[in-house]
Structure 1
Amino acid sequence: MEEEIRRVLIVDDERALHAMLKPILCSHGFETISAMTGEEGLAMARDVCPDIIILDVIMPTMKGREVCRCLKSDPATAKIPVVFLTAKDSEDDVRAEMQAGAVAHITKPINPGVLVKTLKGVLGI
């Protein structure tokens, strides 16, 4: 029986991050979709209904925590797990992310093994 391909929406304003994450995730059976802004991420989450969302905290115009709160308040996207990927790692930052609705926090710079293990753990695969 073939494994189900899981769709990951990456919402981050850094193109280099998208370019780095795509091959890592694809090599572990994930399909990636990219959004460069919070607004674009919200629209794509509604349209594509990904299995999980990787979300940056600091982005222009709409910050990651605001995006997460919007996702969690919309019945169409409320059940999609959100993992924050950010350089901000103080206890207050992590607590604020969890209060916004995130299920996990991964600190930049990215450890590919930690990223994949976290995503698979959240998805139960």
Structure 2
Amino acid sequence: MKRLLIVDDELAIVEALQDILSVEGYDIVTAFNGAEGLQRLADGKPDLVLLDLMMPVMDGREMLRRMRDDPSLRGIPVVVMSAGRISDEERRSSARFLAKPFELDVLLDTIAELLVEPQPTA
């Protein structure tokens, strides 16, 4: 079972995503700001992170920067979710971007695409 980390300060969004993604067969871990998100990463690496940008304590931009600066976290796929804009530098960080509000099928397709296991070559 693939583990997803949802990092968002809006409880309603976290609960909705947790319910939907659990039904889809994902193991869900949650955090409500970037500092909590980094702690969850230290507790055990997820297969993918869903990350809001605008949060208190530590925003998503700082969490993403710290993830990309840490070789042990750099390879974890990140889907940035935000109602705001992202910079060109953030786009180059290898994170995917979904503008809020997003369509559920687009989110599920993005997650599935990022979690595809590489096929062994013969």
TM-score by length of 2: 0.88
How much has 1:62 moved relative to structure 2? Answer: 1.5
Instruction: List per-residue Cα deviations over 1:4-54 (Å, max 9, x = no partner).
Output: x11000011111111110121112211111001110101111221000000
Q: Which residue of 2 aligns with 1:54?
A: 50
Q: Which amino acid aligns with 2:110?
A: T
Gaps of 5+ in 1: none
Structure 1 consecutive aligned stretches of length 4 or more whose deviation exceeds 6 Å:
none
RMSD of aligned C-alpha atoms? 1.5
Query: Match of 1:120?
Result: 112
Name the CA distance, whole Å, in 2 between partners of 1:71 and 1:103. Answer: 11
2:88 paired residue number: 95
> Is 2:33–2:60's contact at 8 Å kept on the other side of the alignment?
no
Which structure 2 residues correspond to residues 3-14 of structure 1 after superposition, within 5 A?
5-14=1-10
Q: What are the ranges of 5 or more consecutive residues in structure 2 without an aligned counterpart? A: 118-122
Could you tell me whether the CA contact under 8 Å between 1:9 and 1:54 is conserved in 2?
A: yes
Aligned counterpart, 2:120: none
What is the DSSP-based 3-state SS (H/G/I as helix, E as strand, rest coil) of the residue aligned with 2:46? coil
Match of 2:29 in 1: 33
Please state whether the residue corresponding to 1:13 is helix, strand or coil: coil
CA distance in 2, matches of 1:18, 1:67: 17
Higher helix share: 1
After superposition, what is the alpha-carbon deviation per residue over 1:43-70, rounded to whole angstroms, capped at 9, x for unaligned?
1112210000000010112121111010
